[in-house]
Amino acid sequence: RTYVDYRPKNVYLTTPIFYVNAGPHIGHLYTASLADALARYNRMLGHQVFLSTGTDEHGNKVSDAANANNLSPQNYTDKISGLFKDMCDNFDISYSNFIRTTDLRHHEAVNHFWITLKENGHLYLGKYSGWYCVSDEAFVPESELLEKVSNSKTIKVSAASGNLVQWMEEDNYKFKLSSMQDDLKYWLKNVKAVEPIKFHKILSSWIEEGSCLEDLSVSRPVSRAPWGIKVPNDNSHTIYVWLDALVSYLTSLGYPKNQEFAKFWPPTVQIIGKDILKFHGVYWPAFSMAAGLDPPRTLLCHSHWTVDDEKMSKSKGNVVSPSEAAKLFTADGLRYFLLREAVPHSDANYSEDKIRKILNAELADTLGNLVSRCMGKALNPGKIIPEPCERHAKTLGSDEALKLVESLENLSSIAHNHYNDFNLHSVVDIVMQSLFFANKMIDHHKPWALAKQTDNSEAQEKLESVLALGLEAARLGSLILTPIIPRLTSHLLDFLNVPSNARMWDNTKYLNTGRNNQINTPKQQDYAFFKKLR
Ligand code: ME8
């Protein structure tokens, strides 16, 4: 058995702050849902959790989008940032703070951070000439460029993103990234610094090789990048958007003064997509350490969503909007699909057909069916919830009942390990397996026939045992899935009369219901279980 550490901890989780050059899509929702599920799981363990999310609102990419929409940058960012906040609210992302980089307190934090880097001797004024990619907001070394023919002209693009680069010459403040190699190597000695291991290896080889460790331009002339935070004491420069954006992880906690900052720093898990691994795995720990702060304990890097096996992109017109998808599948249905389908180490594919199949088979036919059978008129007209106990499996005495009990006994510790390893798809698998065994057990004992034998006490005892074990499986499954589908499971747990103070991880052990009374009768409310989709 695994040992579950219930000593209260302070857990700081973050999502990237999303660019407001366009509205949210399912990739953003996936990252936010993953972070939220981990936050809820940690709260179930009794930890204090701070979850930060928000929007990244400076830089030419954003001001260009504002221009294209005939809005001032501030009006435009207010509007799009609102869409991201709505997404978080509509999908129950339980953030503690939604940070916007146009917030005044963020400007103050960035100023403080910059001055600290300067005082620590990590910044100098230098010259830069090179290829700049506006879409990626980054300079691209010659070795990472490709030539492409577009409209019969040869152009240069970034090999990584495929986006156009242009030649640029200017004075910049530079960060001494080249001096941070040893610190970065030391940070990466911890295999848990970057998960899954695939991304740890990629990052380690970049840092070993050192090609990404040239000193980094961290300012732009204000004439070229007016929409940004000014360099302290030098109005002719704005701060590089990535430095600005990364500091938001500090601002969210109230850096530098707030007590929350002292309590929650360093971040426990920072969740990112693989597109921004370099920024979070090289620049971010380097900036943090240069400012005298601990780097994140773990970066959780996930792969990407494709749509019908193609990369999501506006030009292909296949960008899936979370609010549109929720109209078809509900908010919890979509969270369930995203978190059960994706694995951190490889890309996942979004397809409406697949969503329908998975939701019907798992939420409707397995979880919903189990609850509605056990609480339905045919088997349980009084909606009785018998207290589950050891004797029920003995009363039934079948292989099906024993198999179910065995899986329920192990469920909590296996699911705990999967949550700790960030493998939410495996959490879902193991829960569904138990629920499948529960339905099998019910099929085997034919409780609809037992229910008819009202004057046969043995049959009635068996019926009670079938219901007790079936409902115990539903209780455990609902509790363990709570971080993934909080709304649906909260309805189910209400329906199963599970008190709100008995919904902690400790209660996910078999027979640990947190109830005192023997028999419970739920309120006669009409709860909708997950409805089958057509
Ligand atoms: O990069 N599949 O913002 P962004 C899965 N502002 N996740 C995806 C995805 C996809 N197809 N597309 C995007 C930025 N994401 C910066 C971050 S942080 C200090 C600054 C998710 O709006 C994924 O988490 O481009 C990815 O890393 C993030 O959105 C990029 O969001």
Other C-beta atoms within 10 Å of 512: how many?
Answer: 15
Q: Report the alpha-carbon distance of residue 60 to residue 361 in Å, rounded.
A: 46
Confidence category of residue 161, pLDDT binned at 50, 70, 90: confident
Nearest residue (by CA) to ligand 1, atom 30, is: 18
- Tally of residues, the chain: 534
pLDDT of residue 317: 80
Q: What's the gap in Å between 213 CA and the centre of ligand 1?
A: 23
pLDDT for residue 518: 47
The per-residue pLDDT of the chain, averaged, comes to 93
Q: Give the pLDDT band (50/70/90) at residue 532.
A: confident
Q: Check residue 143 and give its pLDDT.
A: 86
Q: Give the residue, by CA position, lying nearest to ligand 1 atom 26.
A: 273
The answer to whether residue 166 scores a pLDDT higher than 60 is yes
3-state secondary structure 182-210: HHHHHHHCCHHHEECHHHHHHHHHHHHHC
Q: Going by CA atoms, what residue is nearest to atom 10 of ligand 1? A: 27
Residue 520 has pLDDT above 60, yes or no: no
pLDDT above 50: residue 211: yes
How many angstroms does the Cα of residue 388 sit away from the middle of ligand 1?
45
Alpha-carbon 128 to chain mean position? 37
pLDDT in tens, 74-113: 999 999 999 999 999 999 999 999 999 999 999 999 999 9
Q: State the chain's maximal CA–CA distance in angstroms.
A: 92
pLDDT attached to residue 524: 53
Mean pLDDT over residues 496-508, rounded? 93
Q: Which residues line ligand 1 (CB under 6 A)?
A: 16-19, 27-28, 30-31, 56, 245-246, 248, 272-273, 275-276, 304-305, 312
pLDDT at 375 over 70: yes
Q: What pLDDT, on a 0 to 100 scale, did the predictor assign at position 521?
A: 59
Nearest ligand 1 atom to alpha carbon 304 = 2
CB 41 within 8 A of CB 422: no
H or E segment and range at residue 12: strand 10-19
411-436 pLDDT, tens digit per residue, is 999 999 999 999 999 999 999 999 99
Predicted local confidence at residue 469, as pLDDT? 97
Instruction: Name the DSSP letter for residue 378.
Output: T
* Residue (of 92, 91, 90, 88) closest to 100 by Cα position: 88
**ipTM score of complex:** 0.99
Order across the sheet with 348-350: list the strands. Answer: 310-311, 305-307, 348-350
pLDDT tens figures, 23-77: 999 999 999 999 999 999 999 999 999 999 999 999 998 999 999 999 999 999 9
Find the 97 Cα to ligand 1 centroid distance in Å. 18
pLDDT class of 120 with cuts at 50, 70, 90: very high
